[in-house]
Structure 1
């Protein structure tokens, strides 16, 4: 039985927060990506997404290996992936494929390197904007390269790869569903210090990160993904082994309309607490209908002083948080607002947990979030 051990939620090609390769895609190149697994096993397979492709995508070949430094891999660990027994595969527009399993013993917490070779022009590539770790690109077929020296270009996004699954046989996976805070913005790049990483270490359970920076609960966004109400099935419920959902959403719905500094936030409809509450209720309904054992609500973090803050934002966030705490709609509540608040001003992040923008936690703040969720699992 296979269990999702790592995920990244697909996004449509866009400029995103930082420069990336999604709009140009790939041609006669190899792409090497490194991910940290939260469940081990003796066999591994990958899920490749072409969710936003408008024509078929050809994968000329793929390999997996234990990661070494940078783009290097551990010698002797390389395994060629097949798809229905074939080395190459064509993914239909808006489709996905899952590879055949490859024999490769891996432990929870271990880093896996996935290499894809594109011998034909891909066009714009489905991707995940904010990886907070490096991916590597080089010319030609580099599937079996071990030292990584030919991978001369780097990015901090993931492309095409949407999940890694192992034969762990686990059915106690935890999915974190949210925006840039769940994605890990403000954590140390390359250090695996997101709160999903901290929660996996703390609990020993598979933890899937289903965050998208800038994501909204109620509305689609050109750069920041489909609204959460539409993507829950694809990004959480369709992955094997998940039994618990943690929801942390609504901050961008509230805050994007407070600032004119980011044109990518537009249009940014003004939403009410009642609308957000109905959105949360719909998420819990979808999760329970899919058979999840537990659905946990997390209160919005303090964000006074950030570009998302204002009088209306304060009123709406307070009302939503009070509903999450007291409504009984969730099986349990992680009161992240309380544990991260500045004791001198409850609407602000504690300075020791602030990455600097008064909106996103730092590594220490993410560790506190993980502890708060672990306490109510």
Structure 2
């Protein structure tokens, strides 16, 4: 039997007071559309893999006396949510002056009557120490699968360098000065952002799913070359497939832990524009971005193309070998299995920028992924996307034009390649939500043979 993972560290745990503490009239005490109480589970509804700030730009300078309005797209619906906010890479304590959530109407505007105050151990505000995170109290709000949630965060003091996700592929907003968390019209939010700041995850209490699938990788998972605001990354399409399949039984949610430019074995600095940080290596972030996600039972890993790219290496001047990439992937499989999580490996897709020697390495790594037996299943993205007439290249109809990143049709093909029948078999479950609080932990141990899940 596989072991139980360590719980995600947090500053403040959910399950404290759910009161809204004198909220403005637009913030109702209960959602009239909320379904009747039933057996619910906390799952990951949305997540972002966070990185240190870039060398220049907004992520370095941070914010002061303004309100962020972050737009996120949920993979599952439910009647309660909770937020995870992080100061992992900050250099000073992060003051959260006020936080609200609401369903999105259009642009920066929220759906009238859906705004809710978020509390932290019963308080409207919180301070997150350097390197820590905070988990909110559960918030009663009906949210919908494949729908947008708006998270508004007032930052009353200078944040300094931020913890962020640079390549959101989603427009968020920044306000004029002041606390505009309760603004339904969105009129105070004049500046657009294409990054998420401080927000690490949104958990959903739902009867539609009981486990979470994490998509872990680089830009091919993050969104690559697809347009902004279309929510057509392959994990988005996979979530829709799972939602349809879930109607026949307990479903699965999907969260995206991709970082553009990320590597398996080495850290990467900033991109050519100096703004989008490419993150610490996948080995270093695997525990935070996969093992410690809420109710995770499965992860699909697709990474390695940036390690094979020109100039890539374990460290500057190193000559990377296919054996090192294989060892790195095997290490991820061992860590996932030790935590009771099934790991499904994606084959590395064609990359027009690879030199012939690196292309041979890609073929070697893919052969090992298919035949090595290290993973719970293989998702053959390479076979799905390569051109039969020129297997070192993407099919033209799937190529965004750069020879590296799939277009929206390619993303759809990637999602269709995942065998849904292999997902959700790992022997872990999340304790059901009871009463008005949360279950006791982020993950629960697998039942012993002959035992049954409590609900």
Shorter-normalised TM range: over 0.9
Deviations 1:219-256 (A, max 9, x none): 12233111111111101111112101111111101104
Match of 1:195 among 234, 237, 252: 234
Once the two structures are TM-superposed, the CA of residue 270 in structure 1 deviates from its matched residue by 3.1
Pairing partner for 1:318 from 338, 343, 363 = 363
Q: CA deviation at 1:209?
A: 0.4
Match of 1:242 among 296, 301, 305: 296
Please show how residues 156-175 of structure 1 align to structure 2 within 5 Å: 156-168=194-206, 170-175=209-214
- Could you give the per-residue CA deviations for residues 182-228 of structure 1, whole angstroms, max 9, x where no partner exists? 10111121010100100001111311101011111011223311111
Question: What is the alpha-carbon distance in structure 2 between the residues aligned to residue 361 and residue 13 of structure 1?
Answer: 27
Change (3 A) 1:83 1:221: same
Matched, 1:297 2:345: yes
Tell whether 2:147 aligns with 1:102.
no
Which residue does the alignment assign to 2:60?
23
Cα deviation, 1:22-67, whole Å, max 9, x if unaligned, reads 1110001000011111121111111001110122110101000001
Unaligned ranges ≥5, structure 1: 260-264
TM-score w.r.t. length of structure 2: 0.78
| Equivalent of 1:118 in 155, 158, 172 | 155
Contact 2:81–2:141 at 8 Å: present in 1 too?
A: yes
The answer to whether the aligner puts 1:148 opposite 2:182 as a matched pair is no
User: How large is the RMSD of aligned CA atoms in angstroms?
Assistant: 1.7
2:319 is the alignment partner of 1:270: yes
User: Cα deviations across residues 79-135 of structure 1 (Å, max 9, x unaligned)?
Assistant: 010011111100000110011111101121121000000010000110001000101
Q: Cα distance 1:172–1:2, how it changes in 2: closer, same or farther (>3 A)?
A: closer
- 1:137, 1:153 within 8 Å by CA — same for their partners in 2? yes
Normalising by structure 1, we get a TM-score of: 0.94
Contact 2:386–2:393 (8 Å) recurs in 1: yes
Query: Structure 2: how far apart are the matches of 1:376 and 1:327?
Result: 21
* Structure 1 CA distance for aligned equivalents of residues 149 and 417 of structure 2: 28
**8 Å contact 1:20–1:156 — kept in the other structure?**
no
CA positional deviation for 1:312: 1.9
Give distance in 1, aligned partners of 2:114 and 2:326: 48
Decide which structure has the larger Cα Rg and report it.
Answer: 2
* Cross-structure match for 2:246: none
> What secondary structure is seen at the aligned counterpart in 1 of 2:210?
coil
Whether the 8 Å CA contact 1:199–1:374 is kept in 2: the answer is no
Residue 362 of structure 1 is matched in structure 2 by 407
Which residue matches 1:283? Answer: 332
Where 1:31 maps in the other structure, the secondary structure is strand
Cα pair distance change 1:317/1:268, threshold 3 Å: farther
Match of 1:212 in 2: 259
What is the rounded CA distance, in whole Å, between the counterparts of 1:158 and 1:376 in structure 2? 33
- Cα 1:246–1:298 change in 2 (3 A) is same
Q: CA deviation at 1:258?
A: 6.9
Q: Quick one: distance in 1 between partners of 2:67 and 2:310?
A: 37
* Partner Cα distance (1:185, 1:316) in 2: 23
1:332-354 deviation line (CA, Å, top 9, x unaligned): 11111111011210010011111
Q: In the alignment, what sits opposite 1:83?
A: 120
Q: Is the 8 A contact 1:178 1:211 kept in 2?
A: yes
Q: Secondary structure at the match of 2:225?
A: coil
CA contact (8 A) 2:215 2:255 kept: yes
Identify the match of residue 175 of structure 2 among 116, 138, 151.
138
1:262 alignment partner in structure 2:
none
Match of 2:395 in 1: 350
SS of the equivalent of 2:307 reads: helix
SS, match of residue 171 in structure 1: strand
Counterpart in the other structure of 2:381: 336
* 1:172 CA displacement: 2.6
Q: What's the secondary structure of 1:214's corresponding residue?
A: coil
